[in-house]
Amino acid sequence: ASNNLVNIVEVGPRDGLQNEKGVIPVDVKVELINRLARAGAQNIETGSFVSPKWVPQMGGTSEVITRMERLPGVRYAVLVPNQKGLDNLFTVLDETKLTPPISDEISIFTAATDAFTRANLNTTTAESLLRLEPVARAALDRGLRVRGYVSVAIACPYSGPVDFKRVREVAKALADMGCYEVSLGDTVGQGTPNKVAEMIEEVKKGVPVEKLAGHFHDTYGTAVANVFAALAQGVRTIDSSVGGLGGCPYSPGATGNVATEDVLYALRDSHYQVAGSNNGTINLDDMVNIGWWISEKLGRDSVSRAGRAIRAR
């Protein structure tokens, strides 16, 4: 590909924190988002408007996005599962009345298997797509961008290996309802580079590669390799999480997302450049510090390999 600019979508404040059991104060979430934005992150997923009964940790997202800084050149997104979540977001947007709004974008999500969609959204994949269509339309009508996720693009924790044709169909359905980008999630983190390449080759038959992103959990230690497999397929957007935080409450045993620090480090000396806000890039040392800062707030060490190595030198 002639375009070697890689976009990073920082999902730490959402995917990274959603699975944490302890209460994380709103102040900490706000500071995390602000630090990420100041480090050059261009796309930040700040939280979700899901049911607090299903994911208690994301219950404070209204307050988080109301209190965070809104830096120019940074795109802020929230995850929305249904009409109710969108209504709740619109209420916040109406109350704050900022231009641009405090959230530029929603992410909607479904999965390549019914078993996972049932666990995560309490419905089938087909029904979830029917429900999401008007949600996407209403968000687009309001001038928000819409991003889609297909979970369990490689393997499902409930039904095993996934049919990549199904991933293609679901990704195409999301693109057809107006998603500017569809992120392919290895939710379980079982993917290997060859499987990831095979999956993306199939999905490209339905959705142009310019609209695809890769979202890799690192359960088996293959996430950085999977990032490079996706890049080799022409994908130019990668989701990652500072400090390697993350996990889906409905994907038992899965660990965090690929660490932003590890992706930044691995892309050094390559022919790829990482896009940051305002035509800059993302600062690796800042990310390492943020990864340690948030991990210590959560009572542990950073699990980013680059973050640990850089801190130790």
Catalog residues that contact ligand HMG under the rule CB under 6 A. 15, 18, 48-51, 54-55, 79, 81-82, 84-85, 88, 109, 120-122, 149, 151, 185, 187, 215, 248, 250
Cα distance between residue 224 and residue 174, in whole Å: 26
Select the residue whose beta carbon is closest to Mg ion and give its number: 15
Active site residue 156: no
Q: How far is the CB of 159 from ligand HMG (least distance, A)?
A: 14
78 — phi, psi (to 5°)?
-130, 150
Q: How far is the CB of 269 from ligand HMG (least distance, A)?
A: 29
For Mg ion, the closer of residues 216 and 272 by Cβ is 216
Of the listed 64, 248, 254, 310, which one is catalytic? 248
The entry of ligand HMG, Mg ion, none near residue 225 (CB within 5 to 8 angstroms by kind) is none
Residues 125/112, Cβ–Cβ less than 8 Å: yes
Tell me the β-bridge partners of 148: 108, 182
Cα distance between residue 129 and residue 116, in whole Å: 14
The entry of Mg ion, ligand HMG, none near residue 10 (CB within 5 to 8 angstroms by kind) is none
Select from 11-19, 31-39, 128-136, 290-298 the region that touches Mg ion (CB under 5 A).
Answer: 11-19
Q: How far is the CB of 241 from ligand HMG (least distance, A)?
A: 9
For ligand HMG, the closer of residues 211 and 288 by Cβ is 211
For ligand HMG, the closer of residues 191 and 291 by Cβ is 191
Q: How far is the CB of 60 from ligand HMG (least distance, A)?
A: 12
The entry of Mg ion, ligand HMG, none near residue 3 (CB within 5 to 8 angstroms by kind) is none
Residue 15 contacts Mg ion per CB under 5 A: yes
Q: What is the 3-state secondary structure (H, E, C) of 222-277?
A: CHHHHHHHHHHCCCCEEEEEHHHCCCCCCCCCCCCECEHHHHHHHHCCCCCEEECH
Rg (CA), the chain: 18
State the greatest distance between any 2 C-alpha atoms of the chain, in Å, as a whole number. Answer: 52
Select the residue whose beta carbon is closest to ligand HMG and give its number: 185
User: Nearest to residue 14, comparing CAs of 54, 53, 49?
Assistant: 49
Quote the DSSP letter at residue 16: I
Cα distance between residue 21 and residue 294, in whole Å: 15
For Mg ion, the closer of residues 156 and 310 by Cβ is 156
Residue 10 contacts Mg ion per CB under 5 A: no
The entry of ligand HMG, Mg ion, none near residue 4 (CB within 5 to 8 angstroms by kind) is none
For ligand HMG, the closer of residues 17 and 68 by Cβ is 17
- From residue 271, alpha-carbon distances to 72, 149, 212, 228, 283 in Å are 28, 27, 20, 12, 18
Q: Which residues contact 24 (CB under 8 A, 6 or more apart)?
A: 17, 57, 297, 298
Q: Helix, strand, or coil here: 67?
A: helix
Q: How far is the CB of 98 from Mg ion (least distance, A)?
A: 28
Q: How far is the CB of 181 from ligand HMG (least distance, A)?
A: 13
Q: Known catalytic residues?
A: 248
Interface residues toward Mg ion, by CB under 5 A: 15
